[in-house]
């Protein structure tokens, strides 16, 4: 482009008097610096894309996404967990002044301030400097946000009950359960149903009792003595004969 000499300018010196159509030069005018879009460039793009695609395919085959059982909105014992990138917001809601009666603070006010500040940042911090050290406020707040996010994410992972999470999401094979049987009635009467569910599917921290792999004797023992830490002892209140029936009922719940 010619600038200055030999050009006529209108009032604004950045606009030449004669308008030239804005046609880009042909790539052949930049030898060695460019290449044809078709097929050279596209072929390279495609190759890189294919490598990533195959990589992801291998990854999904080697590590399938961990599926859980079908969501049950009536199961209030289920503790949901957001994806990793929302864990910091999730953790925030566990603190005293950000949860319960103060839910609004944790759910709206604190995140709102943080994200609102991000939106306003270009208007608040209008200094001409680009070096981080010359912009202490912007840099400081960014580091603070970064530290808070990392800390909260870390805390939520460290304090989560991963064992219970694995139990509650377990996929349990469906079994035909005879709800008119004596075993099921004993299961109901002794309150096992409150924790282990109406189809013995488990729930909350209580594991499913289908396919437990336990023997009759072991189940009878647990029904009376509980199972530490989460199942209390003394739940079963019937006779020995009834205990035998209950244990037999549970031991025979097999999915195949
Ligand atoms: C208060 C809730 C609760 C009640 C009521 C309850 N359980 Fe449990 N049960 C649990 C929990 C929680 C566990 C897991 C204990 C652990 O491993 O920490 C469990 C574990 C078990 C296990 C072992 C399962 C396994 O795969 O290891 C059996 C069997 C069992 N319960 C049977 C019963 C029977 C029979 C009754 C009724 C008499 C009953 N439970 C009542 C909460 C309960």
The answer on pLDDT for 4 being more than 60 is no
CA distances from residue 67 to 60, 122, 154, 170, 231 in whole angstroms, order as listed: 13, 43, 23, 8, 26
Contact 170, 67 (CB under 8 A): no
For residue 79, which of 188, 174, 159, 149 has the smallest C-alpha distance?
159
245 lines ligand 1 (CB under 6 A): no
For residue 117, which of 91, 102, 137 has the smallest C-alpha distance?
137
Half-sphere exposure of 19 (CA within 13 A, CB side): 2
Question: How is residue 99 written in tokens?
Answer: 């949860």
Nearest residue (CA) to ligand 1, atom 8: 231
**Please, what is the average pLDDT of the chain?**
87
Output the CA 157–ligand 1 centroid distance in Å.
26
Choose one of 222, 239, 245 to mutate for the ligand 1 pocket test, by most ligand atoms within 8 angstroms of C-beta: 222
The whole-number pLDDT of residue 212 equals 86
Contact 207, 194 (CB under 8 A): no
For residue 230, which of 161, 156, 157, 159 has the smallest C-alpha distance?
161
Q: CA geometry: angle at 165 spanning 178 and 96, to 5°?
A: 125
40 lines ligand 1 (CB under 6 A): no
d(CA 165, CA 209): 17
Once rounded to an integer, what is the mean pLDDT over residues 57-84? 87
Q: Give residues with Cβ within 8 angstroms of 202, minimum separation 6.
A: 167, 168, 170, 172, 196, 208, 209
Question: What percent of the chain lies above the pLDDT cut of 90?
Answer: 45
The answer on pLDDT for 243 being more than 70 is yes
Kindly state the greatest CA–CA separation across the chain. Answer: 111
- Residue located via tokens 């647990």: 222
The whole-number pLDDT of residue 165 equals 85
pLDDT tens digits, 91-143: 999 999 998 899 999 999 999 999 998 898 888 888 888 888 988 888 898 99
The answer on pLDDT for 3 being more than 70 is no
pLDDT tens digits, 144-191: 999 999 999 999 999 998 888 888 887 766 678 888 999 999 999 999
Q: Which of 188-197, 203-212, 215-224 has the lowest mean pLDDT?
A: 203-212
227 lines ligand 1 (CB under 6 A): yes
Question: How is residue 242 written in tokens?
Answer: 């009834």
Q: Give residues with Cβ within 8 angstroms of 148, minimum separation 6.
A: 88
Output the CA 81–ligand 1 centroid distance in Å.
24
209 lines ligand 1 (CB under 6 A): yes
Structure confidence at residue 10 as a pLDDT band (50, 70, 90): low
138 lines ligand 1 (CB under 6 A): no
Structure confidence at residue 249 as a pLDDT band (50, 70, 90): very high
d(CA 218, CA 226): 11
CA distances from residue 156 to 11, 47, 78, 159, 161 in whole angstroms, order as listed: 62, 40, 17, 5, 10
Question: How is residue 41 written in tokens?
Answer: 């460039």
The whole-number pLDDT of residue 49 equals 97
148 lines ligand 1 (CB under 6 A): no
CA distances from residue 27 to 23, 31, 33, 36, 103 in whole angstroms, order as listed: 12, 8, 9, 7, 59
Once rounded to an integer, what is the mean pLDDT over residues 32-39? 82
Structure confidence at residue 11 as a pLDDT band (50, 70, 90): low
d(CA 160, CA 153): 11
Nearest residue (CA) to ligand 1, atom 26: 212
């Amino acid at each position: 482009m010619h600038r200055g000499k030999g050009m006529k300018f209108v009032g604004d010196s950045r606009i030449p008097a004669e308008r030239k159509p804005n046609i880009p030069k042909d790539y052949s005018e930049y030898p060695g610096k460019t290449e044809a879009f078709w097929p050279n460039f596209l072929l390279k793009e495609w190759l890189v894309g294919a490598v990533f695609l195959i990589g992801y395919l291998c990854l999904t085959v080697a590590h399938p996404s961990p599926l859980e059982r079908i969501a049950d909105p009536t199961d209030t014992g289920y503790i949901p967990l957001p994806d990793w990138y929302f864990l910091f917001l999730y953790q925030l809601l566990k603190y005293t002044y950000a949860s319960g009666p103060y839910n609004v603070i944790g759910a709206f006010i604190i995140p709102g301030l943080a994200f609102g500040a991000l939106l306003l940042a270009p208007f608040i911090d209008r200094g001409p400097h680009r070096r981080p050290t010359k912009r202490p406020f912007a840099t400081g707040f960014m580091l603070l946000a970064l530290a808070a996010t990392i800390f909260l994410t870390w805390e939520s992972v460290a304090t989560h009950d991963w064992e219970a999470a694995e139990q509650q999401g377990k996929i349990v094979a469906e079994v035909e359960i005879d709800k008119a049987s004596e075993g099921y009635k004993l299961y109901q009467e002794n309150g096992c149903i409150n924790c282990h569910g109406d189809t013995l599917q488990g729930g909350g921290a209580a594991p499913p009792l289908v396919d437990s792999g336990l023997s009759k004797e072991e189940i009878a023992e647990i029904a009376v003595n509980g199972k530490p830490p989460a199942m209390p002892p003394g739940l079963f209140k019937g006779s020995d004969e009834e205990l035998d029936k209950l244990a037999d009922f549970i031991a025979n719940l097999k999915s195949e």
